[in-house]
Each structure stands twice: as C-alpha cells, then as structure tokens.
Amino acid sequence: MAIKIKNKNNKKVSIIIFEKILHIIARKIIIKTSPFFMNRSGLISILVTVLVFLPLASFSKEKPKLAKKYENWLKDEVIYIITPVEKEVFSKLEIDRDRDLFMEEFWRQRDPTPGTPRNEFKEEHFRRIEFANKKFGRGTPFKGWRTDRGRFYIKLGTPSYVEKYMDPDVHPIEIWYYSGVEKKISIPEGKDLHMSALVLARKVSRDLPKSQESRAFQLGKLQIYPSVNNIFQKEDSLFLFLQIYGLNHNLKQAGILEFSFSQEERTLQTIFKNISEYNSDRDFLEEIPLEKLKPGEYTVKVSLLDKKGEEYFSETERFSIITEPVPGSWVVAQTSPPADDPYYAYIIGVQYLNKGELQKAQMELADAYARKPDALDYALSYARVLLILKDFQRVKEILIPFVEAKQEDFGLFYSLGNASQEIGEFGEAISYYQRALRLKGNITLILNAMGECYLQLGETEQALQAWKKSLDTNPHQEKIKKLIKNLKEKN
C-alpha cells in the first residue's frame, strides 16, 4: 500500500530540499500534530540528565547484548520516536539499572504535564501502537506498527482525512492529509553555491506538450518520474537528476561532475562529465545503464569538482538492483498553478515569515492576498505578519469579510480576537475568542486572554472563571495562579 503525505494546501506531492536545509522545524513550536509531540529541546535535556546520573563505567567501546526487555523497547516500542543520539547512548549502557533509569527519563522528558501521575504522551504513544496493530496488519506478514501506514500513524497521529484510490487497474494508494504540519526551512540565497538532493528515476519524458500548469518534478518539457523505493532491474537505465545553483563562470566552463558507484565502500564505476557538455548550467540529468552492475545494494555519489579535481561538495543516494520484475508504479500528483499564480507569493511569504524576515514576508503575502482576497489561507498568513507588526486595524479589515461570509475557522476567530484585544475592543475580542473555543475546546492561551479582557471590562467574576478553566486545563501556570490570588485579595 503506497502512502503519500500532503499538507493542508494540497499543492505539491514532492519537494526537493537542498543539503543546506539540515533542520526542518515548525514555527515557534516543533512540528506539532498533537499535544503529544516531543519538544526538540527534550533531546538535549534527556542526554544531559542521563549522562549526569550515570557513571563513566556505564559506557563501553563495544555494544553489550541487550536483554529481551530492552531490545523490545528499543526496536519495537520507541523505534519511531527515539532520536539517533539517544539510541546511541542507550546502546552503550552496560547495566540494567542504567537502562531502566534511561527509559524512565526518556518518558519523563516527553511528559507534557510533569508532576502529575499520568504521562499523556506515553499513553497516547502506546494507544497508537495498539491501534496500528489492529488496523494495519491485516493481509501482511508484519504487525501493524511495522507497516508504512502504522509508522506514519504512530508518528503523526490520525490524519485529517484520507483519500483512497482502489481502481483495479491501479496499484492501491492512500493519501493521508494532515492539517497544521508546517515546516520551517532555510531558503538558500540565490548566489550561494549548493547542490540539491539526488533524484533517481526509472523513466523520464523529454518532450512534454506545452501547458500552463506544471507538475511535480517537471522542468519545461522534461518530466521526471522518481523511483518510489529506488529499486531497479539490471536491464534498466538509472536516470539521475540534480540541480546546482550559484555556479560561477570558471565552474561553468571547466567544472566537472563525478558520478561514482560503490558497494560496501568499494568503488565499482566512476563517470566524469564536463558541466559545459550539458544544455543547462543548473539542471543536470544523466542516464546511466545498469547492465554492468550485479544485483545488490549500491550507493551513488555525485561530486562537483574544479578543473584540478578538487571537490566542492557531493550528494549520495542508495539504490538496489534486483532480478525479479519491478511492478510499474503509478504517480498521483496534483498539478501546480501557472508561474504567475499568487500561490507562489504565498508560499514564499510564509517561509520568510517562518524565518523572521518580516518585511519580505509582508511584501509577498500582501501581494498574494491582493491578487486573491477570497483565499482564507492567504488572508490569515498576511494577518499573522500584521499582528507581529502591530497593524491591528488592518488585520480586522482583512478578516472580517470572512466572518460576514459565515466562514468557521479557529485561526480566523483567534486572530480577530487578538487584534480586537490589542486595540481595546475587549467585548468584541471576547466574542471572537468564544467562537474559537467552540471549535477547538479549552485552550489556555485563549482562556487567559479572555480573562484579561474581562478584567479590563471590570467583570472580575468572569475573569476568575476564565482563568480557573485555564488552570483546570493546565494547572502548571504560576502567573495565572498569582493573578487569581491578587484579584481575590482585592475583592
């Protein structure tokens, strides 16, 4: 069963992310699909804490054999959520007491409500494993948690909705959509020299008919059909595609691409190609017959060299050659809009916003909104920038038409409540906050804001009620406790 993950905007199935983009994080919070997703800082905390508690003698050069309990924990229970560094530390512990301490600290660092008897993160994690085993293991020799669907379910939770393609002429496909999975990426500067990740394909089309729309992995008349799992047959040709940005004049004239094929760190085949031989100085497609390679696992490495053979940088990718027939893969991809569509200003603006470059973000998002003012996503992203820049009246001008059109959206009501509160319209702010709560339930951030609004209106009892609800949701709010205490003393 093939699975593809899309964001809520459904615009592209695949994106090439350059080597410079090493860390993918969400805006302000780490990628968060549920309240049980671990904060990235937990990685450092758990390592520091465990290393402080454990004596130096707990580490050895050779990895000790693990008892069944610990092997199951590492390979079955936390395989999808443990970080590589945590895994390395755990595998070097020698005594069971240290392993038990590590496991306790592992879960404690992920506990969203420390100090309480329950660890909601741990409970939710094992609930997902149990659900995956019941739901996704049917018809396979594996337990459900080991399937592709099980892996994504355990890591991301329940998708917002699912589309299924079960046509008898098509390999079964499920597309899982998730809302709120936004990723912050670095946008390489145009003049920087950098290479994209490698894309391996079994098929390309070199002469697509002209169209206003574009598809994933389409460049002009060239359409690349990436291999889903990088599995090839011996008689196949491997089509290898990459992009290099920022080539200077010398590299365009005398630069060299080195294609190296290796197996178990032993180089088997090397191909050199002058950059000047290609029709483009940015897009590079190489067709490489595989007939000389035996079935097995391989690594291909592409390096950029200068005329003296000095390497600037390289990218690698693994692939397999098998003798059995490889079933043809079906690609379901949504076409992208024309190049002048406001969608591109929108996605660029969002990335600038995530980078904190507010002026650039405002320019791009204002342009996207001006050209498509009825798009709620565009308006909300533009409003996010304006809220940070404290242009609260403009936020209301942009978003109120969506309320008048009877749109129901949490972000819409929260943004309007925030803007109204900031300009002193406390009654209106409370009204918007209440509508936001009806959509998402009790959220401490909004309950606390409502309490402040009620206090400004002189409605102390309502303020106390809002803050008490907030404490019921999250009792670890010392600031709110102090506000309640002070308010009661005054009255």
**265 found inside a domain:** yes
Confidence of residue 218 (pLDDT cuts 50, 70, 90): confident
**Residue range of the domain that includes 126:** 34-156
Q: In whole angstroms, what separates CA 334 from the centre of its chain?
A: 19
Position 110 in a domain? yes
pLDDT above 90 covers a percentage of the chain that reads 46
Q: Of 400, 398, 372, which Cα lies nearest the Cα of 383?
A: 398
Average pLDDT over the chain reads: 80
Same domain, 234 and 277: yes
pLDDT at 61 over 60: no
More confident residue, 252 or 214: 252
Do 120 and 216 lie in a common domain? no
Same domain, 350 and 478: yes
Residues 58 and 136 in one domain: yes
Q: Are residues 351 and 302 in the same domain?
A: no
Would residue 186 count as lying in a domain? no
Q: Residue 437: give its domain's CATH number.
A: 1.25.40.10
CB atoms within 10 A of CB 105: 17
Q: From CA 150, how far away is CA 6, in angstroms rounded?
A: 17
* Joined tokens for residue 287: 């067709």
In this structure, the chain runs to a length of: 491
- Asked if residue 48 and residue 145 are part of one domain, the reply reads yes
User: How would residue 119 be classed by pLDDT, with cut points 50, 70 and 90?
Assistant: confident
Q: For residues 415 and 295, state if they share a domain.
A: no
337 in any annotated domain: no
Same domain, yes or no: 356 and 446: yes
Tell me, yes or no, whether 454 lies in a domain. yes
Domain annotation covers residue 10: no
Asked if the structure places residue 134 within a domain, the reply is yes
Q: Specify whether 112 is located in the same domain as 47.
A: yes
The pLDDT value recorded for residue 309 is: 92
What is the per-residue pLDDT across 97-114, written as a single tens digit (0 to 9) for each?
889 889 988 998 888 877
Into how many domains does the chain fold?
3
270 and 394, same structural domain?
A: no
Same domain, 280 and 386: no
Inform me whether the pLDDT recorded for 34 exceeds 90. no
**pLDDT at 180 > cutoff 80:** no
Is 267 domain-assigned? yes
Write down the pLDDT at residue 461.
93
CATH number for the domain including 219? 2.60.40.2550
Tell me the per-residue pLDDT of 270-311, one tens digit each, with 9 for 90 and over. Answer: 999 999 999 999 999 999 999 889 999 999 999 999 999 999
Q: What does the pLDDT average to over 372-391?
A: 95
Q: How far apart are CA 416 and CA 431, in angstroms?
A: 10
Looking at the fold, whether 273 and 225 belong to one and the same domain comes out as yes
If one compares 192 and 136, the residue with the highest pLDDT of the two is: 136
| pLDDT tens figures, 323-332 | 877 665 555 5
